[in-house]
Amino acid sequence: MQSALIELLRGNIAESIRLFPALLPMMLLFLVLLFHLVFKFPKGALILKILFIFTTSILVVGYILKISTH
């Protein structure tokens, strides 16, 4: 995850996604969580649940693909 973050900060988005595909959705999840805690969005909990399921599914699929290719 650290390598992917460093590549993202360098501007290498494709390399960042290749290293850890769930980094961008995870960052979006934490950003939405922060805004929901501060501003109390009416549908914030639902949005967070959907983002959590999406991020978790990317984590699982990425993990399975890495194991199957190595």
| 63 located within any domain | yes
The count of structural domains within the chain is 1
Q: What is the pLDDT of residues 32-61, one digit of tens each?
A: 999 999 999 999 999 999 999 999 999 999
| 35 located within any domain | yes
Contact 51, 29 (CB under 8 A): yes
Please tell me the distance from the alpha carbon of residue 54 to that of residue 56, in angstroms, as a whole number: 6
| 17 located within any domain | no
| 1 located within any domain | no
| 39 located within any domain | yes
State if pTM tops 0.75.
yes
User: How large is the C-alpha radius of gyration of the chain?
Assistant: 14
| 44 located within any domain | yes
| 60 located within any domain | yes
Range of the domain at 44: 22-70
| 12 located within any domain | no
pLDDT at 70: 75
